[in-house]
Amino acid sequence: MGFDAGSPYGRARASVSRIPGPRSGALRGVALAGARGDNWAVLRVIFLGTSSARPTVSRNTSALAVQREGDLHLFDCGEGTQRQMMCYGVGFNVQDIYISHMHADHYLGVIGLLRTMSLQGREQGMRIFTPRVGVSVLRQAIGLELEELPFPVDIRRLSPGERVRHAGYTIHAFRADHPGGANGYVLKEDDRPGRFYPERARRLGVPEGPLFGRLQRGEAVELNDGQTVEPDQVMGPARPGRSLVYTGDTRPSTATVEAANGCDLLIHEATFAEEETERAERTGHSTAKQAGRIACRAGVRKLVLTHLSARYSERPFVLEREARRVCSDGCPVTVAYDGLTVEVPLRDA
């Protein structure tokens, strides 16, 4: 089952210029290894909240902003998320919100965010995707507001295996292993056209100019002598798009390995260190070591750890060290902090 991004509620657009690059004392960016290639489209992740059940002085509760070209999505929306969006320069033109599960530290900020958008005069509709139980909970929570919102809010169930179609990419849910029912989410881009070889086109008599562009867009062209040139005569094989995976809260699971197989960026929760393995299992969470093993099994290009217990808020190196020890294949590991920005480049292959 899938959903089309073109809903009757209109399409909220994000302004690229409103999500700045690194700022002194605030954002520090991490770029994944790789080449941008041609037809570059921004795929950027901004960590708005990286703490677990409760905020700390330096870390807010769970929220992640993902910008894909002009689209802006939120994954989880813990309390105070709208303030974090202002602190880190993320615009409020959010298209969709994807909630991983219905624990308060992952959805409570929705109420305040919608109210802020209302006060700013938003008219475009908002879609919120959630596991099954979240539909009724969110409707009741939003209904607590005494003043009716000036824009429609469409709350939809998104079950594992279902996907939302956007222009050039999809977002689909997979089953996370956490009490009460939880989703993880995968953003996967469509394959890109193969590399264009202008020398091949010239040898076939194609003049430089508009016909080059049509071939690169996958269109056959007819020359003055009546010859037809097909795109596959001048283009290489299709190249893979990028993908990122956000687990939300979860125990280590085979479903995550399958969802993250070969992905460019895995954002995995790491609530505890190895010393709390039993507690992690009991509460439905992962240790940093377990997250590292998942990343290795999935063959991901980069692992970012988030959802830290308050005890590790000021010493995240403990978790990073544990994950690095099991990433024997050299997969880079980073522990997220509020304001961290990660840009995912196109693969050059």
CATH of the domain at 178: 3.60.15.10
**Residue 198 and residue 207 in contact, taking contact as beta carbons nearer than 8 Å:** no
Residues 143 and 30 both lie in one domain: yes
> Are residues 151 and 167 both part of a single domain?
yes
Task: For residue 105, indicate whether it is catalytic.
Answer: yes
Q: How far apart are CA 16 and CA 21, in angstroms?
A: 10
Residues 293 and 216 in one domain: no
The token duo for 10 is: 């209109």
Q: Indicate whether 184 and 70 sit together in one domain.
A: yes
Answer whether residue 348 is part of any domain: no
In angstroms, the CA 115 to CA 162 distance is 29
Catalytic residue of the set 96, 105, 177, 264: 105
Is residue 223 located within the same domain as residue 273?
no
Rounded CA-CA distance 255/232 in Å is: 36
Read off φ and ψ for residue 24, nearest 5 degrees.
Answer: -55, 125
Q: Are residues 286 and 184 in the same domain?
A: yes
CA distances, 185 to each of 240, 268, 284 (Å): 19, 11, 17
- Residue 3 inside a domain? The answer is no
Question: Looking at the domain assignment, is residue 35 inside a domain?
Answer: yes
| Pairwise CA distance, residues 46 & 23, whole Å | 13
C-alpha–C-alpha distance, residues 50 and 65, integer Å: 12
- Residue 30 is assigned to a structural domain of this protein: yes
Segments of 148-264 assigned E as strands = 153-157, 163-166, 169-176, 182-189, 221-222, 228-229, 243-246
SS3 label, residue 71: strand
Tokens, residue 7: 């809903």
CB burial readout 259-269, b (16+ within 10 A) else e: bbeebbbbbbb
Q: Is residue 1 part of a domain?
A: no
Paired strand residues for 74: 65, 97
100, 137: one domain: yes
| Contact between 94 and 74 (Cβ < 8 Å) | yes
Please indicate, yes or no, if residue 318 is contained in any of the structural domains.
Answer: yes
Task: With respect to residue 2, please indicate whether it lies within any of the assigned structural domains.
Answer: no
Number of domains in the chain: 2
Strands 243-246 and 182-189, sheet pairing: antiparallel
Instruction: Write out the chain's pLDDT in tens, 349 residues.
Output: 565 444 333 333 332 223 333 333 333 444 443 333 344 689 999 999 999 999 999 999 999 999 999 999 999 999 999 999 999 999 999 999 999 999 999 999 999 999 999 999 999 999 999 998 899 999 988 887 667 899 999 999 999 999 999 999 999 999 999 999 999 999 999 998 889 999 999 999 999 999 999 998 889 999 999 999 999 999 999 899 999 999 999 999 999 999 999 999 999 999 999 999 999 999 999 999 999 999 999 999 999 999 999 999 999 999 999 999 998 677 999 999 999 999 999 887 5
Quote the pLDDT of residue 24.
Answer: 30
Q: What is the pTM of this model?
A: 0.84
Q: Let me know whether 287 and 210 are in one domain.
A: no
Rounded Cα distance between 256 and 175, Å, is: 8
Residue 349 covered by a domain: no
Nearest in space to 42 (alpha carbons), one of 72, 85, 81, 6: 72
Do 208 and 146 lie in one domain? The reply is no
Rounded CA separation 271/294 (Å): 15
Calpha distance 84→86 (Å, rounded) = 5
Among candidate residues 181, 207, 233, the one where a domain is terminated: 233
- Domain span at residue 23 reads 9-192+239-343
Examine the domain organization and report whether 89 and 136 are in the same domain.
yes
Are both 187 and 207 inside the same structural domain? Answer: no
> Residue 129 and residue 75: Cα distance in Å, rounded?
10
Same domain, 138 and 77: yes
